[in-house]
Amino acid sequence: MKYPKRNLVLLLCLIISAVVHAQNASGTKPSLFNNFPGKIICSEQELSRVFNSTADQDISLSFSDNFIFSGKVTSNVVKYTNLQTAIIKSPAFGDAIFVLSKISNADRSTSYVGRIINKNYFDGYELKKDASNNYQLIKIETDRVIPDCSHH
């Protein structure tokens, strides 16, 4: 009667092994921006260039640390009188998209917000201002900002 216990333990080990393998296989994404720093300085002048472009136009944005984001403008839309949003798709980064918005504030100043994301990769960038009011692309983990809507 030792065979049923041994078979049950073997079956349990196989199930646990399969579950662990499935979690590792589905949960691991490669890094896209591994060769770039955690923070990249962005000039307002370079960011503003995006909003002078039109859909289907090629554009190349050059930021500090030799980070160049090149691609095709897929959209450049004024959503409200104070909000304009452009989207750039970059084949150089596996079709990552850079969604950038320009906000015209009540005090006549301009603010920028945006993200560079590719859902197939672990990392991306978020545009933020530092304590000195300089714009930077800050490296992020995309799974923390993109909800997983798949049903298991």
Q: How far is CA 121 from CA 8, 39, 102, 105, in A?
A: 39, 18, 26, 34
| d(C-alpha 42, C-alpha 134), whole Å | 7
Is-contact 63 114, C-beta < 8 A?
no
- pLDDT value at residue 14: 44
**Which pTM was predicted?**
0.76
pLDDT one digit per residue (tens) for the chain, 152 residues:
455 555 544 444 445 544 444 444 446 889 899 999 999 999 999 999 999 999 999 999 999 878 999 999 999 999 899 999 999 999 999 999 999 999 999 999 999 999 999 989 999 999 999 999 999 999 999 876 555 555 44
